[in-house]
Structure 1
Amino acid sequence: MAVCHLFAEVCYELNGMEIDRKKNVGITSVMKGHLSLTPGQQYSLENTGWLSDDAELTDASENFDVVLPLSMLAFVEDYCRVIVNDKHELILTRSNTDLNAVIQAPPMENFKITLNKIEWLLTYINLADEPKIQLLNYIAKDLAISMSFRSWETYVYLMLPSTTRHVWAVKTSTHLEKPRYVIPGFQTARKNDPQKNASELDHCRIRDVKLFLNSQCYPHGNMNLDISNNQYAILYNMYVQFQTVYYNKKAELCYRSMNL
């Protein structure tokens, strides 16, 4: 998702009220896409910037054009009903560097990416007379409408200690939130390096990953991974989901790496 690395933050507001905000847009969209997109969907999303290693986004004149569904940015994908007479605002904050959006081969060249035009395409619905009257009558009752959706949050640990075992306290949930998934990802020396792909993750020779939710542990057993020797099949089944979660629980993510 090279295009997403052009933005440091994306915010969606409804009637001036912030609904959702995403930081680290590039890596967040990559991690979410790898988990939620099927291989067929990934193949059909080349016009969004989801490219294979040998594909190019620009033409001979270095121009590009993409269509980016907001659902790939890990928000606004759950509420699919009509919103009437409300002001929508999408705030895009440009990143202070474009190095993460390109891959260069030596010799290195100075470059600058310029966005000439951005369009926000929204579906506009015209109702027939009968459903329009029903909708207006419902609005006249001034009833509260619940707008439930999932919110994805990204936490970045910039400097991991050089040890084979580390515990990371991730978050304490509030009464308004029910955590469902925890998705860890690792990168090594890829940020702000135009010779490396900032959208790729590194396995870092991880041997074991556990999630501690108070006194409960997921998964219960050790995975004993050895990714360098192609022993990581159990990771495909490790989508940590909380079917019954209690409020105000402290979550800790523990990982162990191979002995160096």
Structure 2
Amino acid sequence: MSILNVNEKLYIDNSIVSSELHTYQPYISSKFDYNDEIRIPIQELDAYTLPSESLLYIEGKLTNTEGNYTKRLRFTNNGIAFLFREIRYELNGITIDTLRNVGLASTLKSYLSSNTNESLKLQNAGWFPHRKEEDRILVDDNGKFSVSIPLKLLMGFFEDYRKIIINMKQELVLIRSNNDLDGVFFKDDVTTPSTTVETPKVTFDKIYWKVPHISVDIPQQLALTRILESNKDILIGFRSWELVEYSSLTETTRHTWPVKTTSKLEAPRHVIIAFQENRKGDVKKDMSQFDNVDLTNIRIFLNSERYPYHDLYLNFKENKYSSLYEMFANFRYSYYGTSNEPIFNPEKFKEISPIAYIDCSHQKETLQTGSVVMRIEFETNSAIKKDTSAYCLILHDKLFSYNPLTKIVKQL
């Protein structure tokens, strides 16, 4: 028994000598206006970088269009992410992972994947899922703010691929949204209501990509050099996130939504569905919250296979949504293999994020050949309201390879 082995040698891992954050700036460090493309390169090919632990550091200022800051303007939960419409990670000029509608997609994903303790740390990234609107203030008295956002909060590659990158040029690409209406909301004061609604204006002063550089001991250095010289491909596998939007649902109680057709490799493994009633582009509404459309049942089909197999029999007016909450609470175990620690209790789930999570990670062999056609069917107690949008966040597998000697990157 190990408790009796008093002469057992101690093992100390000295393979990693140091890990230091290096700061990278965009090509043009002063042009962060609406619709601008912001490219941040890593040109150092001899460095061992760890993108999974990298951060997006942003400094800026929140004002109205007249250049003044008032406390009636508040960032939404995860509001900084809503200020970008697209984010990409490129390896030697080839796009490895990309995410459009960054704010909505990352908010949906984080409502399921984060727990209460993790959310405390993520307040430094502008993540306040439990805070009341009155307390959700990220800025000082002059409207200035700074955040450090872990990139694993925004993209599947950074969350899943936890290896160093060897001898390759890397770029992080950000594209600004065309306005700030979804990242900020106007919270009027009940005691002294404003006669006008202020329009927000967010300006960025600094955007940095902070990436860990790993220094290794001599034996590990020799091993990595042999890998480089062997001219072999290195596999990159991860789960990518893709948000599909149905911008305006028909005003009926039964809906069929043909979402997309995919290859067998990129077949949906986890699907998150949510609804919003006329929130987009309205500064008086919080885009980080989702609406209860009085669902009675929801299911997805991958070809002819149905998930979940059983009907849900929901009725939000009578507080009959325990099956939907149970699915929500099981995400962490299904996706990460960790204990179920949902970020919301059932009451907050109904109030802030009444979303449907459907686990379709276990699939029959019939789905492993040919293309996969995905559609969603759902019913509601009453007709969907006008200008209601539906969002479907699909989490699916992606596989690439890169050769650190020839610099060739391929999608498999």
Deviation at 1:213, TM superposition (A): 2.1
Contact 1:32 1:74 in 2 (8 A): no
- Aligned partner of 1:64 in structure 2 is 145
Deviation at 1:55, TM superposition (A): 2.1
Report the TM-score when normalising by structure 1. Answer: 0.95
State how far apart, in whole Å, the 2-side matches of 1:61 and 1:254 are. 48
Task: Say which SS state the counterpart of residue 152 (structure 2) adopts.
Answer: helix
Counterpart in the other structure of 2:363 = 244
1:91 aligned residue: 173
Q: Which has the higher contact order (CA 8 A, sep 6+)?
A: 2
Q: How many residues align?
A: 260
CA distance in 1, matches of 2:359, 2:209: 34
Offset of residue 31 of structure 1: 0.4
Alpha-carbon contact 1:206-1:226 (below 8 Å) kept: yes
Unaligned runs of 5+ in 2: 1-77, 189-193, 328-357, 384-412
Counterpart for residue 204 of structure 1: 293
Q: Separation in 1 of the partners of 2:199 and 2:259?
A: 38
Structure 1 unaligned residues grouped into runs of 5+:
none
RMSD of aligned Cα (Å):
1.4
Provide the C-alpha distance between the structure 1 equivalents of 2:183 and 2:201, rounded to a whole number of angstroms: 11
Displacement of 1:173: 1.9
Give the Å deviation of 1:144.
Answer: 1.1
Q: How far 1:77 sits from its partner (Å)?
A: 1.1
Shift of 1:212: 1.6
Partner of 1:74: 155
In percent, how many aligned pairs have the same letter?
A: 36
Select the residue among 258, 275, 294 that pairs with 1:169: 258
Whole-Å separation in 1 of the counterparts to 2:82 and 2:382: 33
Q: 1:134 to 1:2 in 2, by over 3 A?
A: same
Quick check: 194-203 or 212-221, which moved more? 212-221
Structure with the larger strand share: 2
Q: Partner of 1:126: helix, strand, or coil?
A: strand
Q: Equivalents in 2 of 1:12, 1:249: separation in Å?
A: 26
Equivalent residue, structure 2, for 1:144: 233
TM-score, normalised with respect to structure 2:
0.61
Q: CA offsets, 1:131-174, max 9 Å, x none?
A: 11111012111111111011111100001101100111112221
Counterpart of 1:183 in structure 2 is 272
Question: Counterparts of 1:66 and 1:110 in 2: how far apart (Å)?
Answer: 22
Q: After TM superposition, where is structure 1 displaced by more than 3 Å over at least 4 residues in a row? A: none
The match for 2:118 among 21, 41, 57 is 41
- CA radius of gyration, larger in: 2
User: Offset of 1:24 from its aligned partner?
Assistant: 0.5
